[in-house]
C-alpha cells in the first residue's frame, strides 16, 4: 500500500536539493526541485557545483527533513563518499538521504551501483531517468515512516 502525504503535511517538510561536486548539470535537478515544490514541499535548491558541506549547512540551518543529491557527470560515487558521516557529525543522523542521476563512470549494473550508495548511508539511490512521481511517492512513504518511528 502506497502512502501519500497531504499537501498540508508536505508543506511542513523541508527538502534540500542540489548537484554535488564539480557537476554543472542543473536541468534535471531543477525539474525535480520544481516538481517537489508543486507537490507542496518546501524546497531549498542549492543549484550546481555544490560542495557536500553546503548541503549539510543548509540542512542544519533549515532543520531539513531530507537531502536530495544529484550527480550526472559520473563522479557521484567519489563526491558522496563520507556524506553520511558528515551528516552524523553535524547532528543530522536521522536525516533522509537520497541520491540520483548518472552516478558512476561507464556502464555498470544498477544493482551494484545502488548497493554501494546504500552502503554509504543513503536511504535510496535512483538511476538515470527516474520519474519525479516515483521520487515523490518514495519521499511520502519514507517521510511518513520516519514520522511514525519518531512518534513511537
Between helices 27-38 and 132-151, what is the axis angle to 10°?
60
Angle formed at CA 101 by CA 97 and CA 107, multiple of 5 degrees: 125
Give CA 46 to chain center in angstroms. Answer: 12
- Residues noted as catalytic: 23, 25
Half-sphere exposure of 46 (CA within 13 A, CB side): 26
User: Which residues lie closer than 8 Å to 63 by C-beta, 6 or more apart?
Assistant: 14
Amino acid at each position: 500500500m502506497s502512502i501519500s502525504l497531504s499537501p498540508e503535511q508536505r508543506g511542513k517538510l523541508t527538502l534540500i536539493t542540489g548537484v554535488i561536486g564539480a557537476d554543472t548539470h542543473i536541468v534535471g535537478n531543477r525539474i525535480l526541485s520544481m516538481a517537489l515544490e508543486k507537490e507542496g514541499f518546501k524546497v531549498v535548491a542549492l543549484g550546481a557545483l555544490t560542495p557536500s558541506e553546503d548541503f549539510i549547512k543548509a540542512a542544519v540551518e533549515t532543520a531539513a527533513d531530507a537531502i536530495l543529491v544529484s550527480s550526472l557527470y559520473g563522479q557521484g560515487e567519489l563526491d558522496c563518499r563520507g556524506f553520511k558521516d558528515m551528516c552524523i557529525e553535524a547532528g543530522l543522523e536521522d536525516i533522509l538521504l537520497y541520491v540520483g542521476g548518472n552516478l558512476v563512470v561507464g556502464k555498470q549494473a544498477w544493482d551494484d551501483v545502488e548497493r554501494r550508495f546504500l552502503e554509504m548511508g543513503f536511504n535510496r539511490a535512483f538511476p538515470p531517468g527516474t520519474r519525479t512521481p516515483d521520487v515523490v511517492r518514495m519521499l511520502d512513504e519514507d517521510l511518513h515512516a520516519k514520522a511514525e518511528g519518531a512518534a513511537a
